[in-house]
Amino acid sequence: MEFETEREPLLKALQTVIGVVERRHTLPILGNVLIDVHHQQLSVTATDLEVEIKATTQASVKESGQITLPARKFMDIIRNLPEPSRIHARLDQARMVLKIPHSRFTLTTLPGTEFPLVEENDEPQRLELAQSLLRWLIDRTSFAMGLQDVRYYLNGLLLELEPHRLRAVATDGHRLALAEVPAETSLAEPKNVIVPRKGVQELLRLLHDAQDPLELQLRENHLRVTWPNACFTTKLIDGDYPNYRRVIPKQEHGRLEVEREALRLALVRASILADERLNGVRFILSSEGLRICSNNPEQEEAQEDLAGVYVGDPVEIGFSARYLLDALTAIEESTVEIVVSGSNSSAILYGRGNDSCRYVVMPLFL
C-alpha cells in the first residue's frame, strides 16, 4: 500500500469523520480510522458501532490497499504539518510510514479487514432532497429530543416519510417540535424511522446550508445519507414512537400574536427571578395583551407587560421559560402566534403565516 496526497484535503476528510471516534472505547480498533486507497481515490472511515462516517478525497495511488491508523494521532500529525504539504505514505510491514520534506513519522496499524463496517443486506428506499432542507429540519426540531430518557425511543429524532412530504418530530415528554418540507419519495405508504441522538448531532455537524442534493437511503436497521465526498450511516432506534398527534391540541381557547424578539427578551428577563428548579413563568392573556410574571422562594418577583393582539377569553397558564425560549429561537418569523386551549392544556407556537414548524409546550402548574 503506497500513495501520495495533499495535506489540506486529507485534513478535511479526517475532520469530517473524527467526531465519532470515542476517546474511551472497548475495542482498540474503534480508536482507529480505516484508510482505503484505490483508483486514485482515498477514503477515511470512522465508526463507534452506532454511527459510521466516510469521507473521500483524491490521491495518487501507487499501490492499492487498506489499513487502520490511530485516528487522533494521525489527525494531529496532519493538522500540524506546514501548509501546503504533500504527504507520501507507504505501508512497511505492520507500520505506516509518512514522509514530507524534512519530516518522517511511523505509526502502528491494525488490519483493515478487522474494521467493523456496516453490513448492507437489504435494498434501500431512496429519497433525494437539498442538503439545506435536511439541515433545516434537524435544526428546527432536534433540541426537543429526550436526554437519557428511560423511554429510549424519545432519545432520538423521528423522521416520517410520506409520498410527498418529509417530517421531523422530537419530544422529551414535556414539549414537542415538528417541522416538515415537501419531498417526492418513491414510497407507496408512510414510513417512520427513529434516528438516535448521537446520529442526529453528527449529521447536523456535517450538513451545510447548501442547495446541492443529497440522498437518503432507508434500510431496515440503518439510515444512510450520501453527498459528494461524504457518506454518513447511523443505526436506527428499534421501537415505536408515541402517537405525537394526540398531544397537539385540537381546540382553541385563545390566540395571541406578539413580536417574537420582544417576547424572547421579556422571557429572558422574567426567568432571572423564576424558581431555579422549575424555571416557570405565568402567562396572563387578556384583551390588553400579555403579562408575564415570575417569582421565587426568596419572594422576589418580576412582571413584564407586552403589547400583543389576543383574541379569546382571558386565561392564566404556567410554562417553563426555557422550553418557550427554545421554541422562539427555532422560529424564524418576526411575529409569533401562540394558541392556547385553556389553563390546564398545552399551547402551540409557530411563526405567523407558517405552520410548517410547530412547537407544543406542556403547561406548568405553579
Per-residue pLDDT of 147-180, as tens digits, reads 989 999 999 999 999 888 999 999 999 999 999 9
* Residue 348 included in any domain: yes
Domains identified in the chain, total number: 3
Residues 223 and 264 in one domain: no
Verify that 38 and 95 share a domain, yes or no: yes
Query: What CATH number has the domain bearing residue 252?
Result: 3.10.150.10
| 190 has pLDDT over 90 | no
Which one of 186, 218, 245 terminates a domain? Answer: 245
Least confident window among 36-45, 52-61, 215-224: 215-224
Among 86, 114, 142, identify where a domain stops: 114
- Contacts of 40-46 spanning 24+ positions with Cβ under 8 A: 42/3, 42/5, 42/10, 42/13, 43/13, 44/10, 44/13, 44/14, 44/16, 44/17, 45/17, 45/115, 45/117, 46/17, 46/18, 46/19, 46/20, 46/21, 46/71
Would 162 be classed as within a structural domain? yes
CA distance 238 to 221: 8
Is residue 137 domain-resident? yes
Residues 193 and 110 in one domain: no
Q: Do 130 and 101 sit in the same domain of this protein?
A: no
> Mean pLDDT, to the nearest integer, of 59-66?
96
Evaluate whether residue 90 is within a structural domain: yes
The model's pTM is 0.91
Residue 179 maps to a domain: yes
366 within a domain of the structure (yes/no): no
More confident: 187 or 70:
70
How much is the pLDDT for 23? 84
Listed in sequence order, the residues at least 6 apart from 107 whose beta carbon sits closer than 8 Å to its beta carbon are 69, 70, 73, 74, 77, 95, 96, 98
**Domain range enclosing 286:** 248-361
Does 159 reside within a domain?
yes
Inform me whether the pLDDT recorded for 185 exceeds 80: no
Q: Are 171 and 208 found together in one domain?
A: yes
Q: Among 230, 245, 260, where does a domain finish?
A: 245
Q: Are residues 229 and 263 in the same domain?
A: no
Q: Are residues 86 and 11 in the same domain?
A: yes
20 and 115 in contact (C-beta within 8 Å)? no
Q: Is 119 part of a structural domain of the chain? A: no
Which pLDDT score is estimated for 159? 96
| Collapsed DSSP state (helix, strand, coil) of residue 355 | strand
Q: Are residues 231 and 263 in the same domain?
A: no
In a shared domain, residues 215 and 204: yes
pLDDT tier, 188 (very low <50, low <70, confident <90, very high otherwise): confident
Q: Round the average pLDDT of the chain to a whole number and report it.
A: 94
Find the mean pLDDT for residues 96-120.
94
